[in-house]
Structure 1
Amino acid sequence: MMLKELVYLLLVAFVREKTCARILAVVPVPSYSHQLFFRPLWKGLNARGHELTLMTTDPMPEAPNNIKQIDWSFAYDLRHNKHNITKVVQDNEYNLPKILASYQAMMNEIVDEELARPEVQALLNDENERFDLLMVEYFHPVMFAFSERFKCPYIALASMEIANFYHKALGNPIHPVLYPEILLPFERDLKFSERLLSTLYVIWGIVHKKYTYGSSVEELMAKKYFGEDLPSLQRITRNVSMVFVNTHPVFNVRPLGPGFVRIGGGMHLEEPKPLPEELKMFLDRAGEGVIYFSLGTNVRSHHLSKGLIQAFVDTFRELPYKVLWKFERDVPEKSSNVKIVRWLPQQDVLRHKNVILFMTQCGSQSMEEAIFSHVPMVAIPFVSDQKMNAQKIVGSGLGLFINKNTLTREVLMKAILEITQNSSYKNNVRQVADLMQDQPMSGLEKAIWWTEYVIRHRGVKHFWHPNLDLPTYQFLLLDVIGFLVLLHILTIFVAYKIVKNVSVLLLRGANSNKVKTN
């Protein structure tokens, strides 16, 4: 019996040695919702026996032994205090180039400091270190260069829809009307002004990337940390094996190449856990219903204007419901039906039977959590993809949209009462949840299966079109269209000349006959 057990253990060890990989996971963006989305993937890969080194701004508490974590939590100070990106977005709401420039400047500084950390430098300078796979958040191309340093394939990850530039760079078709940029505040049935704005934005994005890529700060930073002989970031970007995107066909209808894998549909949802006793008591006793209000982790509620906060306070005071409000500070003028909490286990709160409405900033994860909990929404977007998500909520009948710039007590009260007293919104949410869940594999199962596919084949080249470097004029068929137009004009010209010459000859013949007759 002991011999059998020994043979079994040796066999297991042999199989693990052959099949289990060393994975470097890099998630540089200081955003708790982003980090939270990927955690089930790290835990799932760990459960499969893979060994992970995770660079993250939010280290997992009680991480398994074979997940080594490098702490980048200092990046939150740069985001919220030094750059205060939320305020920049609010102050320049319709100036997309300035918003993008601010994001880029912020991420350049964050990535520079992340790569300079002693733990990262030790990893880069260790000649004996090796990895079988890099899994990296797509936000900053310099981080893709880890794949060159360790000579391993990489998978790019996105906790939300990615920019059209990235789609274009990897061969997916882009269209300013069918697939507007995620930062634009519209999604379907675009008016002429919106179509014009979307088209100009796409053109600006292509030109901006084309003429700043080679000499950009990112290129210099990449060579600083990964060596002067590093290939261009454009080449490294196109060397990706697969891209995992947190989208779902129910909300995101666009053609994708086989190298793109949709992992949306509640991948980050955790098993239900008991609520804290005080919170549970508040929700249990709210038989009249509870409105849950949260602006997520990236928008600080205390940064809102006094007028906007007062509009919320005045509205909540008149509601016949309880209100659970995630707020980082106390609100002295709040009414007795309002409970202020600095942090909440959002998934478990939304699952509570008495929660009847979610007032949300429309982050991708918050939106999914509400849908899978069958809770309709009042959408109050602020930054990033939230405005487009708000359009998806309205277009699918899951709730109503309120512009924060025109929000008043009357507008908010009308929206809340409309949703809470009209069962169609809750029915629509339940129907969409059923559609999203009705798939052969969950997003997590797909992510793990395709991750191990890339590991087994040491990278994936056959999913990507070989002609991604087509010049724009060839991609748009401008040379072919020009040739056909020229050929058409030439044909008309030749036909015109023939008809004209024949007419002249016939006219001369007719005149000659007249002379002879006379």
Structure 2
Amino acid sequence: MRYLFPSILLPLVWTTIFLQNTLAARILVIHALYSGSPLLTWRTAGEYFAQNGHHVHYLRWKDSHHHSPLPHENMTETVLTVNNKDGRFSYLTKEKEAGFDIPFDLLLQEGMSYTRIYYESMKTYSMFYSICDDLLGNKELIRQLRRMDFHLAIVDLVGNECTLPLTHHLGLPTVGFWGMQFASGETTLTTAFIPPSHAPNLLTKFGSEMTFPQRMVNTFAYVVSQAVVRGQCWILSGVVKKHLPGSPEPCSLIKELNGMLINSDHIMDTPQLLPPTFIRIGGIHIKKAKPLPKELDYWMQSAGDDGVVLFGVGYTINPKVLSKRFIQAFFQAAKRLPQKFLMKLEGHLENVPSNVKIMSWIPQQDVLAHNATRLFVNHCGLQGVTEALYHAVPMVGLPIFLDQGDYLVKLVKHGVAIPLDRQTATAEVIYQTLRRALNNPSFKHNAKRLSKLMKDTPDKLTPQERALQLVEYLVRQKGANHLKMHSRHLNFFQYFCIDIFVFVFTLLFTSYKLGKIVWRKVSSSKIQIQIQTRKESSLFRKRVGGKIEKVL
């Protein structure tokens, strides 16, 4: 009897292994020129996919960050470089195997300026043209990707339109990835319904409820952002025709996406009408919290009931770019408070208070999950904000560039954050801001409320499970083309039935005009008949009257 169980179990094990290998998919993830936080997001998501039996291969460009080894044997990558030895491209390092170099000076000064950001975007057209030319002209890379026999591609869409003709050439169902609030730029060319009437665009700092002037500004922003993307597609279409003749131009392929993974949720984004394969996966990078290192955990616990304030500006931003004036003002404010401060900073720092601990790297998610954490001072990057909301930690926001100002507006509206201007804030202003955020219980109460909303989803799935479910479905159904919206084939006038309204209006107007002409003619004929009748009647009376007079 004791041999019976293994005899039954062994076939089941082999069957499970066979099914797992049969269902395993090979997924190509293509990052943008500079992926920043999305790269970390897809490290976590890719690891989850790999743990479920799939193979994930990353295609990315070199950047200025140091990346740890991939965490799973089913995860591989290809790193591309750009020849910028002559320094002709502003945002790349000046070397033969160049990588993206973040223009921190520009971003710190004008990182949230709408006009400057879009102006700089248009200046990068020539760089993207050259990079696209190198990518699509790399026949050995394309042969290598074809040999890997992928089932599906996931493309980070921001400034990455050139890779869509590549995945089309490889014959892969393609899922887009969007790493911020779902509005502006490439999103306006998808089949999702994102009207500027209630979907605020990037850098506008508007909510979904807008006044008439705000809707005018938002509509202008919508048109400009789409024009920038269309301009880039128009320029890249020449490269596509050169290397992949017969391939559709990039912007038309955005409409043909088989799905979309949107890295936001309804707390930090606007509810929208989305196609069935467009899903929100906000928080997909969040992992189960791990215990802190003993020394750090002891330091955190020693804060007692006052707790710890965490300070960090994320993965993308080097904390060295923060001004010495602001750091010293923050130190002066911190030493007046009973809390301990854990700060992610680098380099030599002077006048560090005794209640401040400086670290060059911090396990941010694990610290936010710690019961001693009371407040998170951060730059309002989407990843950090999502982590703080998930763990119900109130915030003080000091946005630096791009969409960070938009997120701060939403956080303030939700009552979980207080804004702080890093360029003008004095030690007294910082002290009062921190004191208010720490001592007002409404911030913690609202953070707990939003945390519950974030975790309680209608489908009862985690973001990782939701993304995996969609990807596996699209692999099984070869892209699920039957779920694509037919609106992708309609132009603006057809989509909003403007052509129908114009036709009906023209028909009614023409009928009205014709009816008016006919009525005039009929009326004119009637009048002429009446006049003629009156004349004949008058003449008859005259004749009859004359005869009567003669008789008399």
TM-score scaled by length of structure 2? 0.80
Distance 2:447 2:346 in 1: 29
> Which residue matches 2:50?
46
CA distance in 1, matches of 2:510, 2:132: 61
Based on CA coordinates, which of the two structures has the bigger radius of gyration? 2
User: What aligned pairs does 1:103-182 form with structure 2 within 5 A after superposition?
Assistant: 103=121, 109=127, 122-126=140-144, 128-139=147-158, 140-182=160-202
1:28 — aligned with what?
A: 32
Match of 2:114 in 1: 96
Alignment partner of 2:489: what SS? coil
Q: CA deviation at 1:303?
A: 1.8
Paired residues of 1:185 and 1:387 also in contact (CA < 8 A): yes
The structural deviation recorded for 1:100 is 3.3
Displacement of 1:449 = 1.1
CA distance in 2, matches of 1:495, 1:128: 70
Deviation at 1:269, TM superposition (A): 1.4
> For 2:488, what is the secondary structure of its paired residue?
coil
Q: TM-score, normalised by structure 1?
A: 0.85
Distance change >3 Å, CA 502–CA 86, structure 1 → 2: farther
The answer (yes or no) to whether the contact 2:112–2:203 under 8 Å persists in 1 is: no
Range moving further from structure 2, 470-479 or 495-504: 495-504
Alpha-carbon offset, residue 223 of structure 1 = 5.4
Displacement of 1:477: 3.9
Amino acid at match of 2:312: S
C-alpha change, 1:376 and 1:111, in structure 2 (3 Å) is: farther
Q: Distance in 2 between matches of 1:500 and 1:397?
A: 71
Is 1:34–1:159's contact at 8 Å kept on the other side of the alignment?
yes
What is the deviation of 1:459?
A: 1.1
Matching of residue 15 in structure 1 with residue 19 in structure 2? yes
Q: Secondary structure at the match of 2:475?
A: helix
Identify if the C-alpha distance between structure 1 residues 501 and 415 changes in structure 2 by more than 3 Å, giving closer, same or farther.
Answer: farther
CA contact (8 A) 1:124 1:149 kept: no
Paired residue for 1:298? 316
Aligned to 2:45, the other structure's residue is in SS state helix
Task: Using the TM superposition, give the Cα deviation of residue 122 of structure 1 relative to its aligned residue in structure 2, in angstroms.
Answer: 4.1
Contact in 1 for aligned 2:112/2:403 (Cα 8 Å): no
Q: How does 1:432-471 map to 2 (within 5 A)?
A: 432-439=450-457, 440-471=460-491
The unaligned stretches of length 5 or more in structure 2 are: 84-90, 542-552
Which secondary structure state, in structure 2, belongs to the residue aligned with residue 53 of structure 1?
Answer: strand
Residue matched to 1:274: 291
Measure, in 2, the Cα distance between the counterparts of 1:81 and 1:11. 46
Structure 2 counterpart of 1:368: 386
Distance in 1 separating the partners of 2:346 and 2:310: 15
Maintained 8 Å contact 2:312/2:379: yes
For 2:359 and 2:121, the matched residues in 1 are separated by 30
Aligned to 2:86: none
Residue 192 of structure 2 contacts residue 275 of structure 2 at CA under 8 Å; is this kept in 1? yes
Tell me the CA shift for residue 72 of structure 1.
5.5
Alignment RMSD (CA, Å)? 3.8
- Structure 1's 302 and 110: CA in aligned 2 closer, same or farther, altered over 3 A? farther
* Structure 1 unpaired stretches of 5+: none
Identical counterparts, % of pairs: 24
Give the direction of change, closer, same or farther, for the CA distance of 1:286–1:81 in structure 2 (3 Å limit): farther
Residue from 349, 364, 377 that aligns with 1:346? 364
Q: How many residues align?
A: 512
Residue aligned with 1:187, SS:
coil
Letter in 2 for 1:273: K
Question: Could you say if the C-alpha distance between residues 509 and 211 of structure 1 is closer, same or farther in structure 2, counting changes exceeding 3 Å?
Answer: farther
Instruction: Provide closer, same or farther for how the CA distance between residues 230 and 49 of structure 1 changes in structure 2, counting only shifts above 3 A.
Output: same
The residue matched to 2:374 in structure 1 has which SS? strand
| Contact kept? 2:81, 2:99, Cα under 8 Å | no
1:263 & 1:145 partners in 2: Cα distance?
25
Matched, 1:386 2:404: yes
Q: Check conservation: 1:259, 1:463, Cα contact below 8 A.
A: yes
Alignment of 1:245 onto 2:265: no
